[in-house]
Amino acid sequence: MSRVFITGSADGLGQMAARLLVEAGHQVVLHARSAARADDAWRAVPQAQAALVGDLSSIAATRALAGQVNRLGRFDAVIHNAAVGYQEPRRIATVDGLPHVFAVNTLAPYVLTALIDKPQRLVYLSSGLHRSGDASLDDLAWERRPWQGTAAYSDSKLHDALLAFAMARRWPQVLSNALEPGWVATKMGGAGAPDDLQAAPKTQVWLAVSDEPEATVSGAYFYHMKPHDTLPAVRDVAVQEQLIQACEGFSGIRLPD
All structural domains of the chain with their residue ranges: 3-251
pLDDT in tens, 3-20: 999 999 998 999 999 999
pLDDT of the residue at 50: 97
Q: Which amino acid is at 130?
A: H
Q: Is 224 left (phi over 0), alpha (psi -120 to 50) or beta?
A: left
* Architecture field, domain 3-251: 3-Layer(aba) Sandwich (3.40)
DSSP single-letter state for residue 72: T
Decide if 157 contacts 113 (C-beta within 8 A).
no
Q: What is the rounded CA–CA span in Å between residue 57 and residue 95?
A: 8
**Residues labelled as active-site residues:** 153, 157
Backbone angles phi, psi at 50, to 5 degrees: -165, 165
The closest alpha carbon to 149, from 223, 157, 249, belongs to 157
Letter for the amino acid at 234? Answer: V
d(CA 100, CA 107): 10
Residue 86: predicted pLDDT: 75
Phi, psi of 108 (to 5 degrees): -60, -45
- What pLDDT does residue 91 have? 96
Q: Tens of pLDDT along the chain (257 residues)?
A: 999 999 999 989 999 999 999 999 999 999 999 999 999 999 999 999 999 999 999 999 999 999 999 999 999 999 999 999 877 899 999 999 999 999 999 999 999 999 999 999 999 999 999 999 999 999 999 999 999 999 999 999 999 999 999 999 999 999 999 999 966 445 555 555 445 557 779 999 999 999 999 999 999 999 999 999 999 999 999 999 999 999 999 999 999 98
What is the model's pLDDT at position 185? 40
